[in-house]
Amino acid sequence: DGVEEAFYSTNRVLSLSLHKYGDGFFPGTGFYKDIGISSGKYHSINFPFNDGIDDDGYFRVYKSIIDTIFERYKPSVVVLQCGADSLTQDRIGVFNISTKGHGKIVEYMKNKYNHNGSNHVPMLIIGGGGYNIKNVARLWCYETSILCNQSQNISNTIPYSDFINYYKPNFKLHVESDKSMQNKNTQKYLSDMTNKILQQIKSIEIVPSIQINSERIPLLNDDQDDDL
């Protein structure tokens, strides 16, 4: 919500947030009609999930929306915040996402938009919220392995260290979805909400890139460079 607020009135940055909304859930922002103001209208995109969203539904919604954003807005750089409070077993979050399901989005963004030849877009990956610290560490470890092209090689068994007892009783890297948790996001709800968001994205005007004027940037000679 803080990121969205910072850019709520500008079209230079488009923010996309997938989150729990309603039922008094903190911080109470993120209704799908919260779309920005002034020149930033339509540039804040909020997808409100109900409790229990799983890997499949989360990824299908994200993929549909992010692909449409790239087609329409054509961002020149991406900041991807990997909040861990969407994982199952979070103390505050109410989603049912596994580490592999969460990492699938990071892998998709890396392969399609960051490591894709002419479609290469610079990307900054950062952490985010999470209220089960053991699972936050698990997630960031796994997603780092994805970014380093090592996700197929990393072991699911956490190696011994001074902190090994934090990961008992199974000492495993991956957190699995809770099969007993109810998914309150029906297929109709996900489809209808996705269509509303896609209509919002179609209202975005293409924002022109700002070119750097290299003539205004003085070149340093060797003597000046040494002084610095």
Separation CA 54–CA 56 (nearest Å): 6
Here the tokens at position 125 are 């990956």
Element (H, E) at 59: helix 55-72
Ramachandran region, residue 126 (left: φ > 0; alpha: ψ -120 to 50; beta: rest)? beta
For the chain, the average pLDDT equals 87
Mean pLDDT over 23-47 rounds to 79
Three-state SS at 126: strand
Q: Please enumerate in sequence order all residues whose Cβ is within 8 A of that of 38, keeping only pairs 6 or more positions apart, or say none.
A: 9, 10
Query: Could you tell me the pLDDT band of residue 213, with boundaries at 50, 70 and 90?
Result: very low
pLDDT in tens, 160-207: 999 999 999 999 999 999 999 999 999 999 999 999 999 999 999 875
Q: Please enumerate in sequence order all residues whose Cβ is within 8 A of that of 34, keeping only pairs 6 or more positions apart, or say none.
A: 4, 44, 46
pLDDT at 123: 95
Q: Report the predicted TM-score, pTM, of the whole model to 2 decimal places.
A: 0.85
